[in-house]
Amino acid sequence: MSCRLRSIFAVAYLKAILGAFSFALIASPPSIAQSIPPLKQGESYKSARMLLIKGGWQTNGQGGSCTGDNANRLCKLYPEYEARSASGHVRFLWRNAEGRALGVSTFSRTKDDSDPGTVTGWGWDD
């Protein structure tokens, strides 16, 4: 094979590789800050909350209402607080930089309305 022909093949090969690499960059998933951190069922909400904050997630402001039946300490301590059931299930709402909402559910066996409990689940809320 001539040197010129090898050069043509080499250039075509490099273009194909660079094209595939460029597509991978364009089609890549959002940055690490946009992905859900490795939350675990049963871990304390306080621990999960730190993972979310370190991962670039923002609290949802005052998601729930801090009046009436929702006027508890959780509402005042956690801006992402959304609701608490009489049976101890609590819901928190977070947003990533793209504005996608992530709901985190917990359960607390105590009557202490400042205890966020342990994580029972999470998922996209939109």
Phi, psi angles (nearest 5°) of residue 58: -110, 145
Condensed to tens digits (0 to 9), the pLDDT of residues 18-39 reads 454 444 434 444 444 478 899 9
Question: Using an 8 Å Cβ cutoff, are 99 and 124 in contact?
Answer: no
Q: Is the dihedral of CA 42, 123, 29, 80 positive or negative?
A: negative
Condensed to tens digits (0 to 9), the pLDDT of residues 76-110 reads 888 898 888 888 899 999 999 888 999 999 998 88
Measured in residues, the chain has a length of 126
Does this model's pTM top 0.75? My answer is no
Measured distance CA(39)–CA(47) in Å, rounded: 9
